[in-house]
Amino acid sequence: MELKQGIRLEQAQPGALFRLAPSELKLGHKVISLDCSWSDTPFPGPSLFIDSFEQKQILRDACRWVVIDLTAGTNPARPKGSQVEPLFEPLPPIPGKIDLLQRSRLSAETLNIGLKIYRTLVRRVTDFTLSFRESGRLDVDVAISITHLLARAQDLSLAALIWLTRIKDKQYYLAQHGVNTSILMSGFVHGLGWGRDRVETAALIGLLHDLGKARLDLDLLAKSDELSEHEMDELRTHPVLGYELLRRNPEITWEVASAIHASHERPDGQGYPRGLEGNAIPVMARIIAIVDAYDAMTSVRSHGRQMTHQQALGRLWKERDRQFDQNLVEAFIQFLGWITPGTLVRLSDDRLAVVVEIRSEAGIRPLVRPIERGGEELELGPEILLAPQFGGDGRPDLKIQELLPDNAAGVSMRNLTGKLFGLLDLPAASMTDEPAAGLASLQASRGRGKPPEPAPEPAPVPAEPDKPASTPEMPHRGLRVLVIDDSLTIRKTLRALLEKEGLLVEVAESGEEGLTALGEKPFDLVFLDILLPGMSGFAVLRELRRKKLLEHMPVVMISGNPQATEQFFLERIGADDFLPKPFSQPDVGACLARLQKRGRLREAAVRTAAPGRGE
């Protein structure tokens, strides 16, 4: 079986293999492969036992990386440096009992603490996402600060954080999935007892695991129908895209990037993108595969039905040792338990209830609160300690008949949580404060539908009648813009965003229609899709630059296709800027600001006011 960088497993000695920068070598390591030829060094090869700092310095000068067999040397400690990547790693020891979540207590106090942490996580994830979409750069400091926060919170608020992952909002799925996966993954690794540094690594992987999807087309990600073979091939590129983005950032460890690269590999070798199998899949990649699938299955998404907690665990169990690592699936199920606090259930007397605690004395005994409706409000009945599901003392006449999906039967988990713990500000959008509204706007601008109505605010100071209230001073206000894109969703979205900037917008759905419009009416700026049916965006741009009256027209190229994006940056055939799909209001505003700063829109404004440019 072939490993990364051309190393073949059958050529290596058995044991844990790591690729690392020579600067990460320690005394006692055994090097079994280099990225250069052994003849480029004074060592004969095919292996080298590191017993001096001089050897390490020679390798630093000759190689970018080396491979060590950890169990063949005399230093068995797992390397911890930032430039360390597992190539072949047996699963670390798993404790026989994983009951950290069951021992973590839930109360109004711990939930209040957990809520503050959760809000901070969503705020930072939203800021992180918006910043990445605007600049294309990772704000690594923000991402790492999230991992530190989660690692510190595990002992005090694990049960509260797990409870909060059950509050599902379809319109906030993008941010919530990243936060939930990060919480679940870091909590699971903490429950395994693998140490603080690995908990932080797990949190960061959970946060960034879907980063590559930011470079895929929005329509593909939002499609609810079955994907075609071509669309599936495109979707399967996202681990590679995420890996490439992360490896260009020196502050992201090799292990994090490697785990995201391999997050869709399978123990049976049927995964992608490289078909790795067994211990050739990094341990953290095996964990993220399980946690990502669990949170996705229990969420409301554009495709796939929402499952209950028990159904999702059943799917993981069914696919153990094929799609998922068997030992880790069993450990994850033990970590969460067959039922978790926050699970909605239907009792044997047909009443709805919520599980508030799991007690383990004399068997697993759920403590529940029945849910009743008092008009529009939810009312909670007194606590009932059920008998163990498999016999024992308690209420033998009352058992859990059915586990329900989050937010089932018209029960809002957000409202229920607020009622149960007396958190009066928990309902409505205040769950995530400004980030919720910001994320809703981002997703709406990407064609995900209208964001929820915000909470009532004091009346704003009235704006001037024909001047947008949000942007009182717009140097580019009143300019005429043409949007050329074959997607109705993109045309509508971009038109709405530009009109909020005070621009006058018209649209065209093909390159030919756009050129006709440009020949008939005066425009000051063009947003031009690269991948158009018939005449491509590049062809339209070349035609514009050949026309005397249009050769200086400011043009912003737009595309959601990563290959087209790279082609633009390579060719730079006369466009002024590039706007990647999906985009948000900040993305559009930043693009206009760049054009304004370079003088392109000021020139356009002069031409707009010039004689002969009227209609």
pTM for the structure as a whole: 0.67
> Sign of the C-alpha dihedral, residues 71, 75, 80, 85?
negative
**Euclidean distance between the first and the last CA atom of the chain, given in angstroms as a whole number:** 68
Cα-to-chain-centroid distance, residue 61: 38
Whose tokens are 């969703």? That residue is 489
DSSP 274: S
- Provide the mean pLDDT of the chain: 79
pLDDT of residue 155: 77
What share of the chain in percent tops pLDDT 90? 31
Output the CA angle 336-338-341, nearest 5 degrees. Answer: 60
DSSP 320: B
**What does residue 346 show for φ and ψ, rounded to 5 degrees?**
-110, 125
The DSSP result for 327-358, as a single string, is HHHHHHHHHH-SS-TT-EEEETTS-EEEEEEE
Helices assigned H by DSSP within 209-325 = 218-222, 229-235, 238-247, 254-261, 283-297, 309-318
Q: How far apart are CA 510 and CA 540, in angstroms?
A: 10
Higher pLDDT, 294 or 166: 294
- Residue 505's DSSP bridge partners are 481
User: Any idea which architecture 480-609 has in CATH?
Assistant: 3-Layer(aba) Sandwich (3.40)
Task: Return all residues near 37 (Cβ < 8 A) that are at least 6 apart.
Answer: none
Q: How far apart are CA 101 and CA 191, in angstroms?
A: 8
pLDDT-derived band of residue 11, with 50, 70 and 90 as boundaries? very low
pLDDT of residue 455: 33
Q: Which pLDDT tens digit goes with each residue over 323-362?
A: 999 999 999 999 998 888 888 999 988 899 998 887 766 5
pLDDT of residue 561: 57
Q: Would the pLDDT of 255 be above 90?
A: yes
Least confidently predicted of 133-142, 163-172, 229-238, 552-561: 133-142
Q: Would the pLDDT of 118 be above 90?
A: no
pLDDT of residue 612: 37
Q: Would the pLDDT of 460 be above 90?
A: no
The stretch 507-527 carries a mean pLDDT of 91
What share of the chain in percent tops pLDDT 70? 79
pLDDT of residue 31: 95
Q: Which pLDDT tens digit goes with each residue over 589-615?
A: 888 888 888 788 754 444 444 333 333
pLDDT of residue 183: 93
Least confidently predicted of 120-134, 154-168, 544-558: 120-134
Cβ–Cβ < 8 Å for 482, 510: no
Q: Would the pLDDT of 185 be above 80?
A: yes
pLDDT of residue 311: 92
For residue 100, what are the CA distances in angstroms to 157, 332, 361? Answer: 11, 12, 15
- For the record, the structure tokens of 337 come out as 């338990």
Higher pLDDT, 138 or 471: 138
Higher pLDDT, 178 or 461: 178
pLDDT of residue 265: 95
Q: Would the pLDDT of 411 be above 80?
A: yes
The highest-confidence range among 66-70, 392-396, 519-523, by mean pLDDT, is: 66-70
- Domain map (residue ranges) of the chain: 4-88, 107-336, 344-430, 480-609
Q: Would the pLDDT of 444 be above 50?
A: no
The highest-confidence range among 435-439, 506-510, 549-553, 584-588, by mean pLDDT, is: 506-510
Cβ–Cβ < 8 Å for 504, 480: yes
pLDDT of residue 14: 47
Higher pLDDT, 444 or 307: 307
Output the CA angle 397-402-403, nearest 5 degrees. Answer: 130
* CATH code linked to domain 107-336: 1.10.3210.10
pLDDT of residue 361: 62
For residue 204, what are the CA distances in angstroms to 86, 179, 330? Answer: 17, 10, 23
pLDDT-derived band of residue 143, with 50, 70 and 90 as boundaries? confident
The highest-confidence range among 89-93, 258-262, 447-451, 572-576, by mean pLDDT, is: 258-262
pLDDT of residue 254: 94
pLDDT-derived band of residue 389, with 50, 70 and 90 as boundaries? low
Amino acid of residue 277:
E
- Residue 191's DSSP bridge partners are none
Cβ–Cβ < 8 Å for 133, 126: no
pLDDT-derived band of residue 429, with 50, 70 and 90 as boundaries? very low
pLDDT of residue 77: 86
